[in-house]
Amino acid sequence: MEIPYIVSPRKDTGLFNSKIAIWLFLASEVMLFGGFFSAYVFLRLGADYPWPERTLPVLPGLINTFILIASSVTVVLAWAALKMRQWRKFQIFMGTTIACAAIFMALKAVEYKVKWDHQGVRLNDYAIIEGHLAYYQDGDEKRERNFISIEAESVTFSTSRHHRPWVRDILAQAEQRGATVTLADDIELLKERGGSPEKVASAGDELELGLLSTLKRAHERARANNSGVRTRNLRQQWAEAKSENPGKRGWELTATVDIDRDAIADDLLDEISSVTFDFSQPVRLDFDPRDIREGSSSSRLRDDTVIAGTLLDSPLHLEYVDAIDFQHLVMRAEHRGIDPETAITNSWLYENHEWVREVWAWHQEKVGALEQRLIDDYGLDENDNPRRVPTDKERYRIGWHDLAEKAVSEGRVELSAIDKIKEEFIGPNYAARGQETFPELEIPRDQIHFESKFTPAWNTFYAIYFAITALHGLHVVGGAVVLGYFLFFGRAMYLSNPEWLANRVEVGGLFWHFVDLVWIFVFPILYLM
Amino acid sequence: MASTPEEIQKSVRSYLIVFGALCVFTVLTVAVATWYPLESLIGGHGFDVWDAIVGLLIATTKATLVAVIFMHLNHEKKAVYWIFAGGLMFAAFMAALIALAFNDPIDDPFFYTEPATTSPATTE
């Protein structure tokens, strides 16, 4: 089939068809990204925590902006080259465009990786500590030293919801510590209607996935049977009630109609919703904090597995602390009419850690110097108040640049200029700066209100940041694939109908410009505001 | 739109000029946000509503340059303007709906627990 109007324009629109199509698509894209930017505004105006202003690294964002602008020029130059029938030039410009896309995505990947490796901890008093977790070697695996430990005595699995990898993990941990996991009680089930209960497993049987699967199947079969029996009986009860009470409405009968439990008792099979296993001796089990809701004597995993046992001390160990942020603590204190300074000096961090007091004193001096500089530069107003004052971020957040600056000012660690530029991309160089710049810290679990990596879970800023930039990144990849297709497979079309290829490149280029256009807004909004 | 080689050669020149302008605007947008002598001049010190306005104005200028020159909106057919303007207007309308959320009475701290002494019924 021949597609009409792909080279020559249609008379009514004056455009070739694919151009109309791409503009319709771009209009829908405007609305899509418009929606995301609206979400950003909504989240920012409604945030109940200090919005992280200018928290993303500006340098990679700036370089990515230049890269996208350059690629926008090269794609239009590639189109111009085709129009002038210069295939070689087209190849060079289009190749450059795709290379730009690759560099853009590589920088983006680095930016994401830094966030996924960076740990944030919000304490109960809303002071925030950021840093790098400690790791330990577990066999061949490098694991984070961040887990909830329980001295477990027994474990109860949900037969229908248990997550098999977690069961395996519990078994492996028990085995590693020399304990066996065995069934607590005999299990007898009525599996067939009219039959008699049969023994499925005996107390003392070892925990294995096969047993859990068998129980899951039996449970689900019994549930299906029982709900069918109940539904049928209830329908029957309704039919009888309706015929016995002609003229009455349904709602008038609701209170009296119910399942006849005695009548169906013989038709019901045994359900087994959970099954308990005992450990041969109390055994320490470690769990990822995000998978467990811990309690002093019993804790629950996300798959409804209940671990009975004593909760052990499970401090979170930060190998390097690279930021202390009192902004949220201060915001909450001010809401309650408490002086920020008092709130900070009463915080758990300040009270318990000498180095925090030391860093805070150093930071206060720095803020004082900034205050003075702003007064010197901008003066006082008619009421003798400074016209310009430091921001809350400058006052209450001590970031990794500050900690590094402090260490350098004390003559401790100095990095080469190249290493410093690297840090702007991949974050602080913990190994080179060491714990004299970024001290280690152990935080008791009961002081932690929330902890997470800098993922969408950390706060709504990161949620919208990842949503917008990932969606934009997908557009970059998609655009590069289409433009790459023209570059690598367009030669035949160029030889047979160069204008057709030029039109296709123009349409692909329009999409590419749109991707650039979105980034033109993403960069200042997410990185600079 | 440029179609002859001469015309295209001419527009290539404008593409390069726009590239330069976009780079300058990008540096400017970073400077007004982060460079102390400039950023404190716009609004107060640190981010405030003026920084948002200036930042978005520069971004809009850049976006306009891309749309008008690179995307050839300076000499496009009517149909394209209608389609694009439609999308823009719809997006703007949807964005304006956010205002509804911020005029929500639930934002009012006394919505649920209005003290008896200040309620209109008792003060009148």
Residue B120 has pLDDT above 80, yes or no: no
**A390 inside 8 A of chain B by CB:** yes
Q: Each residue of A333-343: pLDDT tens digit?
A: 999 999 999 99
Question: Which tokens go with B117?
Answer: 């002494």
Q: What percent of chain A has pLDDT over 70?
A: 100
E-strand ranges in A306-455 read 306-311, 316-325, 397-398, 441-443, 448-453
Residue A82 has pLDDT above 70, yes or no: yes
Q: Can you give the pLDDT at residue B62?
A: 97
Among residues A73, A25, A94, A102, the alpha carbon closest in space to that of A502 is found at A94
* Alpha helix (H) residue ranges in A324-353: 327-335, 340-345, 348-352
Residues of B in contact with A83 (CB under 8 A): 2-3, 5, 8
| Interface touch A510/B71, C-beta < 8 Å | yes
E-strand ranges in A97-205 read 119-123, 128-133, 135-138, 141-144, 148-158, 181-183, 187-189, 198-201
Give ∠ CA A284-A289-A293 in degrees, rounded to 5. Answer: 85
Q: Can you give the pLDDT at residue B1?
A: 56
Question: Which tokens go with A315?
Answer: 């401090």
| Interface touch A69/B33, C-beta < 8 Å | no
| Interface touch B91/A73, C-beta < 8 Å | no
- Rounded Cα distance, A291 and B119, in Å: 48
- Rounded Cα distance, B63 and B46, in Å: 25
Residue A47 has pLDDT above 60, yes or no: yes
Residue B113 has pLDDT above 80, yes or no: no
Question: Which tokens go with A293?
Answer: 């809701």
Report strand pairing: A141-144 vs A135-138. Answer: antiparallel
Question: Which tokens go with A429?
Answer: 């160089």
CB A173 within 8 A of CB A139: no
Across all residues in chain A, what is the average pLDDT?
94
Within 13 Å of residue B82, how many CA atoms lie on the same side as its CB?
Answer: 5
CB contacts under 8 A, A 9-48 vs B, are 13-15, 19-20, 23-24, 26-31, 33-35, 37-38, 41-42, 45-46
SS3 label, residue A47: coil
- Rounded Cα distance, A386 and A370, in Å: 12
- Rounded Cα distance, A118 and A133, in Å: 8
For residue A115, give the amino acid letter: K
Residue B119 has pLDDT above 50, yes or no: no
Q: Please, which pLDDT band fits residue B105 given cuts at 50, 70 and 90?
A: low
- Rounded Cα distance, A133 and A144, in Å: 6
Residues of A in contact with B67 (CB under 8 A): 513, 517
Reading phi first (left if > 0) and then psi (alpha if -120 to 50, else beta), residue A452 is in: beta
SS3 label, residue A157: strand
Q: Each residue of A441-471: pLDDT tens digit?
A: 999 999 999 999 999 999 999 999 999 999 9
Residue with tokens 């329980």: A150
Residue with tokens 């990947």: A109
CB A325 within 8 A of CB A120: no
Our CA-based measurement puts residue A401 at a distance from the nearest CA of chain B, in whole angstroms, of 15
Question: Which tokens go with B92?
Answer: 């703007």
Q: Please, which pLDDT band fits residue A195 given cuts at 50, 70 and 90?
A: confident
| Interface touch B87/A393, C-beta < 8 Å | no
Characterize B74-103 residue by residue with b for buried, 16 or more Cβ atoms within 10 angstroms of its Cβ, and e for exposed.
eebbebbeebbeebeeebeeebeeeeeeee
For residues B23-47, give the mean pLDDT: 89
Question: Radius of gyration (Cα) for chain A, nearest Å?
Answer: 33
| Interface touch A80/B11, C-beta < 8 Å | yes
Residue with tokens 């309704």: A238
- Rounded Cα distance, B3 and A7, in Å: 13
Q: Please, which pLDDT band fits residue A59 given cuts at 50, 70 and 90?
A: very high
SS3 label, residue A362: helix
**A523 inside 8 A of chain B by CB:** yes
Residues of A in contact with B87 (CB under 8 A): 26-31
Residue A81 has pLDDT above 50, yes or no: yes
Across all residues in chain B, what is the average pLDDT?
83
Q: Can you give the pLDDT at residue B123?
A: 42
For residue A436, give the amino acid letter: E
Residue A527 has pLDDT above 50, yes or no: yes
CB B34 within 8 A of CB A401: no
- A369: which residues sit within 8 A by CB, 6+ positions away? none
For residues B72-95, give the mean pLDDT: 89
**A and B: number of Cβ contacts within 8 A:** 158
The domains of chain A are located at 17-118+456-528, 148-313, 318-453
Give ∠ CA B50-B56-B61 in degrees, rounded to 5. Answer: 130
| Interface touch B33/A30, C-beta < 8 Å | no
CB A231 within 8 A of CB A259: no
| Interface touch A524/B58, C-beta < 8 Å | yes
pTM (2 d.p.): 0.85
Characterize A498-511 residue by residue with b for buried, 16 or more Cβ atoms within 10 angstroms of its Cβ, and e for exposed.
bbbbbbbbbbbbbb
Give the nearest chain B residue to A31 (CA atoms).
B91
Residues of B in contact with A53 (CB under 8 A): 46-47
Residue in B16, B18, B22 to test binding to A, most A beta-carbons within 10 Å: B22
Within 13 Å of residue A482, how many CA atoms lie on the same side as its CB?
Answer: 16
| Interface touch A528/B34, C-beta < 8 Å | yes
Least confident of A14-18, A315-319, A525-529: A14-18
Give the nearest chain B residue to A32 (CA atoms).
B91
Give ∠ CA A246-A252-A254 in degrees, rounded to 5. Answer: 110
Q: Cα-flanking dihedrals φ and ψ of residue A304, to 5°?
A: 70, 15
CB A81 within 8 A of CB A93: yes
Q: Please, which pLDDT band fits residue B104 given cuts at 50, 70 and 90?
A: low
SS3 label, residue A379: coil
Least confident of A294-303, A478-487, B31-40: B31-40
Bridge partners for A143 per DSSP:
A136
CB B21 within 8 A of CB B64: no
Q: Can you give the pLDDT at residue B111?
A: 61
Report strand pairing: A141-144 vs A292-293. Answer: unpaired
For residue A491, give the amino acid letter: R
Nearest neighbour of B79 by CB, restricted to A20, A53, A514:
A20
The ipTM (two decimal places) reads 0.85
Q: Can you give the pLDDT at residue B106?
A: 62
Q: Cα-flanking dihedrals φ and ψ of residue A318, to 5°?
A: -95, 120
Residue B115 has pLDDT above 70, yes or no: no
Which option is the CATH number for A17-118+456-528: 1.20.120.80, 1.10.150.110, 2.40.50.140, 1.10.287.130?
A: 1.20.120.80
Characterize B26-43 residue by residue with b for buried, 16 or more Cβ atoms within 10 angstroms of its Cβ, and e for exposed.
bebbbebbeeeeebbebb
Q: Can you give the pLDDT at residue A7?
A: 83
| Interface touch A20/B88, C-beta < 8 Å | no
Q: Please, which pLDDT band fits residue A10 given cuts at 50, 70 and 90?
A: confident
The domains of chain B are located at 1-76, 78-124
- B80: which residues sit within 8 A by CB, 6+ positions away? A15, A19, A20, A23, B73
CB A153 within 8 A of CB A278: yes
Residue in A58, A69, A85 to test binding to B, most B beta-carbons within 10 Å: A69
- Rounded Cα distance, A176 and A170, in Å: 10
Residue B117 has pLDDT above 60, yes or no: no
Helix axes A498-522, A58-83, angle to 10 degrees: 160
